[in-house]
Amino acid sequence: MNNSIRNLIIEEIAGSIDIPDTSYEAAHARYRDLGEWFGRAEARAHAFEPHSYSQGSFRLGTVIRPVEDDGEYDLDMGCCLMVGVTKATHTQEELKHLIGADLEGYCIARGIKEKLEEKNRCWRLKYADKLKFHLDTVPSIPETAERRQLIQAAIVGTGAPAELAKLVASLTGAITDNRMRNYRIINNAWRLSNSEGFARWFESRMKLSRALMERLPLQAKAANLDELPIYRWKSPLQRCVQLLKRHRDIMFADSPDGKPASIIITTLSAEAYRGETEIADALETILSNMRRLINTTSPRVPNPVNPAEDFADRWSDTISLHLNMEKKFLLWLQQARLDFDVIGREHKPEPIVTAARDKLGVSLNAKDLCTKLENCSAAGLLKPAVVPVALNFPDKPLIPKKPAGFA
């Protein structure tokens, strides 16, 4: 199978696990509404110049449909108080409950019946909309200038462009966490977080695709927008992250404990991406290079916007050792390479539909897929007489089925 057909198949699968733009828009409407609530003159947060922003997979445009039809979406939001609250004036507990008080008022005003739930780092709102989701709001304050400068230097030390390092480091914040011993006392040792900076870094990786950068202004103009929202970019990198997260969800459906973390998959995928235009080519590059990007010593998977932080710290955490998380990650990576390799070999609709169902939980229409393959054939893109070409992964694992113990 040539690249055009291989890419058609991968695109077909990727499109089926993405959520519609209307769902992204509904989520962002919630973000805007809550952000405006914090900005009201009556809000407790108002005097501290609250800055609200989306974070997580909705911010990155890498959300996937839940495997189960009744699955719930997880929305993440940050609320950073830009002035008037520092580590010297407030405890983490005081900051968290300041934001919590405004959220309680929001629940009453919007008729949200579910009680506001306190989590370790955030407050959780549960909506009863058609789009079933909950929204986690993380309170934060800007990190000190001195700490941001140290982080900027560390990012530059990884080889990142100085301009990007300066931008993402400037977005570093300090968040609340009620598991910390100093949660209720004035103390400088707060947890760092930088979801906004990570999103900017992820964008910089997507922009390696020259074809994407040429396409975005045209799409924005056609939509009468100054800038196209990230969820509408549909870049090869975003698609690859979605495919890999779905493959993981299916593989670990019966054993969710210890499954590879989305942040690790997202980070390593973005690190491995080299600007490929086609999704299938990008997937091949990512799966071929992901393992070699894991460090042999701590930090194993550094946070690109705070290199001292290890996204894979649970791999060696004594509390999590029984989960064998590193081993499970490597087994998943091997299986993903094998399964996408098999899909890349097929050029008949029926085996493709079966593989998509079994490995990715995706229901493709064999008749529609056949029509698309026939159209490619008519255009001279499909050449059945040629021996199919698989995705060219070096050191391909020769395992015939999923490892024992995995669904």
Residue ranges per domain, the chain? 1-18+234-407, 21-195
CA distance from start to end of the chain: 29
Q: Cα separation of 362 and 12, whole Å?
A: 10
Tens digits of pLDDT across the chain (407 residues)? 556 778 888 888 999 999 989 889 989 999 999 999 999 999 999 999 999 999 999 999 999 988 877 778 889 999 999 999 999 999 999 999 999 999 999 999 999 988 999 999 999 998 877 667 899 999 999 999 999 999 999 999 999 999 999 999 999 999 999 999 999 999 999 999 999 999 999 999 999 999 999 999 999 999 998 889 999 999 999 999 999 999 999 999 998 888 999 999 999 999 999 999 999 999 999 999 999 999 999 999 999 999 999 999 999 999 988 999 999 999 999 999 999 988 877 777 888 888 889 999 988 877 777 777 777 666 554 443 333 333 444 443 333 333 333 33
Nearest-angstrom CA–CA distance, 347 and 334:
23
CATH level 2 (architecture), domain 21-195: 2-Layer Sandwich (3.30)
For the question of whether the overall pTM of this predicted structure is more than 0.85, the answer is: yes
> What's the pLDDT score for residue 380?
52
CA distance 212 to 282: 13
2, 1, 4, 42: which is closest to 279 by C-alpha?
4
Taking each helix axis as running N to C, give the angle between helix 325-345 and helix 279-289, from 0 to 180 degrees, rounded to the nearest 10.
Answer: 140
**Could you give the CA distance from residue 179 to residue 357 in angstroms, rounded to a whole number?**
41
pLDDT of residue 4: 75
Question: Angle at CA 197, nearest 5°, toward 195 and 198?
Answer: 60
pLDDT recorded at residue 378: 61
pLDDT of residue 199: 97
CA atoms of 75 and 58, how far apart (whole Å): 7
d(Cα 155, Cα 149) in Å, to the nearest integer?
A: 10
pLDDT of residue 389: 34
The b/e string for 104-139 (b: 16+ C-beta within 10 A; e otherwise) is eebbeeeeeeeebeeeebbbbbbbeeebebebbbbb
Model pLDDT, residue 388: 34
Residues in CB range of 142: below 8 A, 6 or more apart = 80, 82, 172, 173, 174
Q: CA triplet 115, 120, 124: central angle to 5 degrees? A: 30
pLDDT of residue 231: 92
* CB-CB contact of 338 with 397 (8 Å): yes
